[in-house]
């Protein structure tokens, strides 16, 4: 495609099919590669500021002033470094982003896009132009994905929206972000077809995890997902209390019985692969608020338990992303939804629960509720869908936070091949995993004198929790458990994950499907 500047050829809105809480985002657009003469502009430069590309062109245009400014600020183009110049060379603002090496992996391209979007998040510029010297459409699409992820905000409950505090009627951080690339319209096509559905799905997962408990409960979660799935080739099944009682789902019912808001089991089925092929099953813990039940948590940081349904948000959002990009795969996503509250009807420590599989467990702690709801969800999807593999996702234990912090999610699996695929997908997507031990010896620590096993009490906490969950999965079936406690919420921003709910796992599972099951 010609490098000569031409009129805007492709435009897309970040508005979504569901009621999204995102405010103050820039729309994304794609245009031909060219250096604007003025305005708010971002460019990328490799380490050591090579003689070529947009950096060199602006430097020549400014009579060497750009390179002198870089030298004065000690900017050399190293990865994750920026040079931010206001009123330079005829530009309202020029942001130079260092990328280090010349060739970037997709997750590194996404970081560049996110870094640019965040740098201009408080700018009043109505148009920001990111000039990328590469010519690959997929690279530009990853820049757009990173920009969309990085600029996410949740302003739904603010009386003043982002930007209003600055007295700007138009609100800062709005307008458009134009990605200028030699790929032109092809970059926009690649983004819309393959990556916008993922960006939108991550936003959905973040929205759901950020909503307070008085705004999101099991039935409302189902309603939000129905709205998000509208128009997509997804089949939805919902089991209410009566249906779960008929099936004997004592695990999920025991957790939900203390709340006036009844539990639900939600399934989304996407048939994008060959007819008759066994689906991939993604099962998520969906505790819309976790007080701990009778084993009540301390007040400190209990507010964060509104996000104890992130696993469920992740798996349903992943199914929506796969359907949105027409992935050639069969998938079923299962959300085990309940609110864990203390009341006169709540389950107690010492109670024995019979699950739908017939297996029983003794409750040691009602605060070990995530594994309780997953028992019935795992049994049901195995019976109904005969999946080729199962991955469950849960904010399960504080123990995994102590072990890994928020840098990695814990991976537990009895299947080395599946574990290897998930580790690779985590590395590629930027949502990284660390494999943890899963020993049969952990079962001895869950022995009960009156039931098949206890729901906790042994150590290590994360490993014992994973072992308990695995007891409801056929030993012949490839299965992995992802403990995302710690990864689900970020106290500080990274280029593609603003502070708050991360939506962890959507990009990971999407990459897992792309690389190993399409």
Residue 483 annotated in ligand binding:
no
Could you count the other beta carbons within 10 Å of the beta carbon of residue 292?
A: 18
**Are 479 and 470 a contacting pair, CB within 8 Å?**
yes
Alpha-carbon distances of 434 from 31, 110, 465, 487, 514, rounded to whole Å: 40, 22, 16, 12, 21
Residue 290 annotated in ligand binding:
yes
Please give the structure tokens belonging to residue 129: 């132009």
466 half-sphere exposure, CB direction, 13 A CA radius? 31
Q: Could you give the CA distance from residue 86 to residue 467 in angstroms, rounded to a whole number?
A: 56
Residue 369 annotated in ligand binding:
yes
Can you name the CATH fold of 10-195? 3.40.220
Q: Which CATH number fits domain 211-516: 3.30.465.10, 3.30.830.10, 3.40.630.10, 3.90.198.10?
A: 3.40.630.10
Q: Could you give the CA distance from residue 25 to residue 13 in angstroms, rounded to a whole number?
A: 10
Q: Could you give the CA distance from residue 151 to residue 337 in angstroms, rounded to a whole number?
A: 29
Choosing from 185, 297, 388, 435, the catalytic residue is: 297
Let me know if 156 is a catalytic residue.
Answer: no
Choosing from 115, 196, 371, 414, the catalytic residue is: 371
Domain boundaries, the chain: 10-195, 211-516
Extract the residue ranges of the chain whose pLDDT is less than 50. 1-23, 164-167, 169
Whose tokens are 């206001």? That residue is 86
> Model confidence over 282-301: pLDDT tens digits?
999 999 999 999 999 999 99
Residue 359 annotated in ligand binding:
no
**pTM: predicted TM-score of the whole model, two decimal places:** 0.93
pLDDT of residue 173: 82
pLDDT of residue 162: 53
Let me know if 297 is a catalytic residue.
Answer: yes
Please give the structure tokens belonging to residue 283: 């099962």
Chain centroid to CA 284: how far?
13
DSSP state of 136: -
DSSP state of 213: T
Residue 308 annotated in ligand binding:
yes
Could you count the other beta carbons within 10 Å of the beta carbon of residue 382?
A: 19
Q: Are strands 479-483 and 409-413 parallel, antiparallel or unpaired?
A: antiparallel
Q: Are strands 82-86 and 127-131 parallel, antiparallel or unpaired?
A: unpaired
Angle between helix 53-61 and helix 65-73 axes, rounded to 10 deg: 110
Residues 6+ apart with CB under 8 A from 117: 26, 146, 147, 148, 150, 151, 177
pLDDT of residue 70: 97
pLDDT of residue 134: 87
What H or E segment, with its residue span, contains residue 332?
A: strand 330-340
What is the widest separation between alpha-carbon atoms in the chain?
83
**Are 401 and 492 a contacting pair, CB within 8 Å?**
no
| Residue 300, SS3 per DSSP | coil
């Amino acid at each position: 495609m010609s490098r000569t500047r031409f009129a805007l050829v492709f435009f897309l809105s970040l508005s979504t099919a569901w009621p999204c809480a995102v405010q103050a985002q820039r729309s994304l657009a794609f245009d031909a590669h060219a250096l604007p003469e003025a305005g708010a502009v971002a460019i990328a430069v490799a380490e050591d500021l090579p003689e070529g590309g947009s950096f060199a062109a602006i430097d020549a245009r400014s009579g060497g002033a750009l390179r002198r400014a870089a030298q004065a600020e000690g900017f050399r183009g190293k990865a994750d470094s920026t040079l931010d110049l206001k009123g330079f060379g005829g530009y309202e603002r020029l942001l130079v982003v260092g990328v280090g090496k010349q060739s970037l992996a997709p997750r590194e391209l996404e970081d560049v896009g996110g870094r640019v979007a965040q740098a201009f998040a408080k700018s009043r510029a109505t148009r920001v132009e990111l000039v990328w010297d590469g010519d690959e459409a997929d690279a530009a699409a990853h820049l757009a994905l990173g920009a969309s992820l990085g600029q996410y905000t949740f302003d739904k409950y603010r009386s003043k929206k982002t930007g209003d505090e600055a007295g700007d009627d138009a609100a800062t951080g709005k307008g458009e972000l134009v990605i200028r690339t030699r790929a032109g319209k092809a970059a926009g096509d690649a983004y819309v077809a393959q990556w916008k559905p993922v960006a939108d799905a991550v936003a959905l997962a973040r929205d759901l995890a950020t909503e307070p408990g008085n705004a999101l409960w099991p039935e409302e979660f189902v309603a939000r997902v129905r709205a998000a799935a509208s128009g997509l080739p997804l089949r939805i099944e919902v089991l209410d209390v009566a249906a779960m009682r008929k099936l004997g789902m004592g695990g999920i019912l025991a957790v939900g019985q203390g709340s006036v808001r009844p539990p639900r089991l939600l399934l989304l089925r996407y048939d994008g692969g060959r007819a008759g092929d066994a689906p991939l099953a993604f099962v998520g813990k969906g505790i819309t608020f976790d007080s701990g039940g009778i084993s009540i948590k301390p007040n400190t940081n209990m507010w964060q338990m509104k996000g104890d349904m992130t696993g469920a948000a992740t798996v349903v959002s992943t199914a929506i992303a796969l359907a949105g990009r027409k992935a050639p795969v069969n998938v079923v996503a299962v959300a085990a939804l309940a609110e864990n509250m203390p009341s006169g009807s709540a389950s107690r420590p010492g109670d024995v629960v019979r699950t739908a599989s017939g297996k029983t467990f003794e409750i040691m702690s009602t605060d070990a509720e995530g594994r309780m709801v997953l028992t019935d969800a795992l049994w049901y999807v195995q019976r109904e869908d005969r999946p080729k593999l199962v991955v469950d996702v849960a904010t399960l234990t504080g123990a995994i936070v102590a072990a890994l912090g928020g840098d990695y999610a814990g991976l537990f699996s009895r299947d080395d091949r599946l574990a290897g695929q998930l580790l690779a997908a985590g590395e590629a997507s930027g949502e990284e995993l660390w494999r943890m031990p899963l020993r049969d010896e952990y079962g001895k620590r869950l022995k009960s004198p009156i039931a098949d096993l206890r729901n906790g009490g042994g150590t290590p906490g994360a490993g014992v929790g994973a072992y308990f969950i695995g007891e409801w999965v056929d030993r012949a079936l490839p299965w992995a458990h992802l403990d995302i406690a710690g990864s689900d919420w970020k106290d500080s921003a990274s280029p593609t994950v603003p502070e708050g709910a991360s939506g962890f796992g959507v990009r990971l599972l999407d990459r897992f499907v792309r690389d190993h099951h399409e």
